[in-house]
A and B are shown apart, each in its own frame.
Chain A
C-alpha cells in the first residue's frame, strides 16, 4: 500500500491534509501536497481513500 501525489498536477488545495492529516502535509515552499507516511498503517487507510476521492486535481493515488 503506497501513497503517492503527482506533484506535476497538484494545485495545493490541501484537501488531502483535511482528509488524512497524519498522512499528508503541504510544503512550506510552494503549498503543494506532501506524503508524510508513504506506507500508512491500516487504520489510516480510510482517510487516505477519502483523500484520493476528494482531491480536486485527482493526483493522490493509493497503490494497493
Chain B
C-alpha cells in the first residue's frame, strides 16, 4: 500500500463500549498494515494469531524505546528517563535479571495458597454490597477494592494505604496526568514503601514480594521502588477493569451467563474464554516493538528500524479455535493472547486468573439475579486511562 491509514484511537472511536474502534477491523483484515499513530509515528499493526506470537517472542523485535520517547506510553513519558526497574522496555538478560526473581511471588502453587484469602476478601465485599442494598456500583464495591487489597497483601504493604495506591495508579496510567502530579503521588508512595523496605530488611522476611526483593535479590533501591509502584499499579488497575468488562460482556450474552450459573465450578475454563473473547473484541493496537533487522511476518517484510505493534484481535483468529468470533463458555481453554506472549507476558497472569475466577464465581452464585440497572451502552467508560474500563457499573438484583 502507498499511504498508511490513521490508526483509530481505541478509547475515542468505539461504536460499542465492548467492541473495536470504528474502522479498525476492516483496516487489519488483509494482514499486516502500516498505520499512523496519533503521535505521528508510522507503525505496522500485526493481528494474526501466529504473527502476534512471532512479534512478541522473536528477539529481532526489541522492546527498548531508548531514543524514541514518542513510542513510550503516556505513563512512561511522564516518568521520563532513565527508568531503572521498568522491565517493559528491556530486552534479553537485562530484562530477565529483573523479571525472574519476581516469578517466585507469582508461582502457581503460591497463588493457590492465596486463594482462600482472596475468597475471604471477595466475600467481605459481597456482604457489604448486600447490606448496602440495590442499586450498587459494581466498580466501587467490588472491581476496584478487591484487586487493590490482594496486590497489597502479596507485596506486603499495609492495606491502610489503599487510597494512595489507587491515586498513584490513576496518575501513572492517566492520559491527562502531569509529571508533577505523578511525581507528587509517587513520592508519597515512595515514602510509604521506603518504610516498608526498612522493616523488611530488619526482619529478613521473604514471605511477601517486597521482603523477597529486599532480602533475596540484587535490586537497588531505585529499581525496587519502581518495581513495587509498578506492581501495585498494574496489580489493581488491569484486573479491576477486566472484571468489569467481563461482567458487562456476560450481561450482553445471557445465554452464556446461564452456562456460568449452571456450573460455576468451571470458572477456571470460563475465565480463559472470557479473556480470549473480551480482549479480542476490544481490538486496538499496542505493545510497540522495533525491528532490529529485516523480519518476515505474515508474508510482509518488516524492515530493520520499523516500529511494529500487535492487536489482540488475534484472539478472534480462526486458526486459534473454530467460531473464534463467538463467546462460547463451553469451549475448552485455548492458548489465547489475553496476557500477551513472549518474555514480557503479563507477570501477574496467574494472580489475575485466580482473582477473576473467584470474583466471577462468587458474584453470580451470591447474586444469581444481578443485572445492569441501566443499559450497558449508556454506561460511562473511562477514556482518560490507558487501560480501558467502565467508570461505574450500576447493578440491581
Residues of A within 8 A of B (CB): 9, 11-14, 17-18, 25-26, 28, 30-32, 50, 53-54, 56-58
Docked CA distance A54–B53 (Å): 10
Q: Are B100 and A30 in contact (CB under 8 A)?
A: yes
Q: Are B99 and A31 in contact (CB under 8 A)?
A: no
With A18-B108, A26-B108, A50-B335 as contacts: A12 and B103 at CB distance below 8 Å: yes
Docked CA distance A53–B50 (Å): 12
B109 on the A face (CB < 8 A): yes
Most B-side CB within 10 Å, residue of A31, A50, A57: A31
Q: Are A11 and B343 in contact (CB under 8 A)?
A: yes
Nearest-CB distance from A35 to chain B (Å)? 15
Docked CA distance A62–B38 (Å): 44
With A30-B100, A30-B101 as contacts: A14 and B107 at CB distance below 8 Å: yes
Nearest-CB distance from B377 to chain A (Å)? 35
Residues of B within 8 A of A58 (CB): 57
Q: Are A56 and B107 in contact (CB under 8 A)?
A: no
Nearest-CB distance from A46 to chain B (Å)? 11
Give the contacting residue for A26; candidates B107, B335, B341; CB below 8 A: B107
Main secondary structure of the interface of B (DSSP, over half): helix
Give the contacting residue for B57; candidates A12, A32, A56; CB below 8 A: A56
Give the contacting residue for A31; candidates B104, B342, B343, B345; CB below 8 A: B104
Docked CA distance A11–B93 (Å): 11
Which residues of B from 67 to 113 have beta carbons under 8 Å from A?
96, 99-101, 103-109
With A11-B96, A11-B100, A58-B57 as contacts: A26 and B343 at CB distance below 8 Å: no
Residues of B within 8 A of A13 (CB): 103, 345, 349-350
Docked CA distance A32–B107 (Å): 9
B340 on the A face (CB < 8 A): yes
Nearest-CB distance from A6 to chain B (Å)? 12
Residues of A within 8 A of B57 (CB): 56-58
Docked CA distance A53–B109 (Å): 21
Residues of B within 8 A of A11 (CB): 96, 99-100, 103, 343, 345
Which residues of B from 321 to 360 have beta carbons under 8 Å from A?
335, 339-343, 345, 349-350
The 9 nearest A-B residue pairs measured at CB: A12-B103, A31-B103, A56-B345, A31-B104, A14-B108, A17-B108, A26-B107, A54-B335, A53-B335
With A14-B350, A26-B107, A30-B104 as contacts: A56 and B99 at CB distance below 8 Å: no
